[in-house]
Structure 1
Amino acid sequence: MTNTDTVSRLDFAQAAPKAFKALIGFDTAAREGLDPTLVELVQIRSSQLNGCAYCLHMHTRDARKAGESEERLHMVAVWEDAAHFFTERERAALALTEAVTLVASSGVPDDVYARAAAHFAQEELARLLALILTINTWNRIALSTAKIPGAA
């Protein structure tokens, strides 16, 4: 859904600084101990599913800075059909990302959860889940406030 005549919307960080800082803290805690490459893949996939151009632009840029290849970045959207580009652990995380991001449509299937649980220790799995929750929240903030990709 595109609206080229978007009305000026609020700056969430400025209008709700305590909520913004709390989300930053949650996001930081979620990332702790997770592979930075995995973090970016999860954030990219969730942003693709949510149609968040602002976050997709930010996280593909961050992934490139961290050394991620263009080839893998192009394959994230079709990761299931491009399995050899990703480790089994990354595929398990991407499957969980999709299930949690689209939770209203079919919940989080037991097999998807079990696949992730087989590749992540309980504490890691909890942080991965928190990461998926935070990127979904960031996506919703960016979409609700009409954040523009490439803009500050």
Structure 2
Amino acid sequence: MTTTHEHHGTHSPYAPEEPARLPWAKLAPEVYKAMVRLDAAARKGLDPVLLELVKVRASQLNRCALCLDMHTKDALAAGESVERIIQLSAWEESRHFYTEKELAAIELTEAVTVLTDGFVPDAVYAKAAEHFEETELAQLIAAITVINAWNRFGVSTRQAPGHYTPGDLKH
């Protein structure tokens, strides 16, 4: 499933009566198009459900309402359960909902997204490397990096959630 991060609404989630800060995709169309191409390249070879879990988790950590709206809807459309999406923010206490491979991807997502100590811990990387072949791991790291970039565009320009329907927009 492919999606776009362009927002067609005009209101900010932070103050509903105020418009988003700016329509960055329209003002920087070449950057937007490059992001769309990068997003498409990063998803190649990754399980769509796992990819959406990663995108939802990174978006939770970055508090990107637009991307949370989009990727929870895409996850549901890809066959993900409501229960697993709800539990994702508390995955460490809800490990039984996820496979070991998914847990490794979620943990890697957190490490790459937060970079608390300025690096991804060796143990987190090693666990992911146990569950993903090298090419798939490279794609996963790319996908995590891309969703973090989308989150930063969404949060910094205050793009509003609630207007996205899976399948509406393609890139």
**Pair in the same fold by TM > 0.5:** yes
Which of 97, 108, 116 aligns to 2:120? It is 108
Q: Give the TM-score, by structure 2 length.
A: 0.83
Runs of 4+ in 1 over 3 A off after TM superposition: 5-8
Q: Is the 8 A contact 1:6 1:146 kept in 2?
A: no
Q: Secondary structure at the match of 2:142?
A: helix
Alignment of 1:118-129 (within 5 A): 118-129=130-141
Aligned to 1:75: 87
Alignment of 1:2-151 (within 5 A): 3-4=14-15, 6=18, 8-103=20-115, 105-106=116-117, 107-151=119-163
- CA-CA distance at 1:11 after TM superposition: 1.1
Distance 1:13 1:144, change over 3 A: same
Distance 1:70 1:112, change over 3 A: same
Q: How many residues align?
A: 150
- Using the alignment, how far apart are the partners of 2:146 and 2:134 within structure 1? 18
- Using the alignment, how far apart are the partners of 2:109 and 2:156 within structure 1? 21
Q: Secondary structure at the match of 2:38?
A: helix
- CA-CA distance at 1:66 after TM superposition: 1.2
Instruction: Judging by fraction of residues, say which structure has more helix.
Output: 1
Q: Is the 8 A contact 2:14 2:158 kept in 1?
A: no
- Using the alignment, how far apart are the partners of 2:147 and 2:14 within structure 1? 22
Structure 1 residues without counterparts, runs of 5 or longer: none
Identity %: 53
- CA-CA distance at 1:21 after TM superposition: 0.8
Structure 2 residues without counterparts, runs of 5 or longer: 1-12, 165-171
Which stretch has the larger CA shift, 131-140 or 2-11? Answer: 2-11
- 1:58-95 Cα deviation digits (max 9, x unpaired): 10011111111111111111111111110000000000
* Aligned CA-pair RMSD: 1.4
Q: Is the 8 A contact 2:20 2:159 kept in 1?
A: no
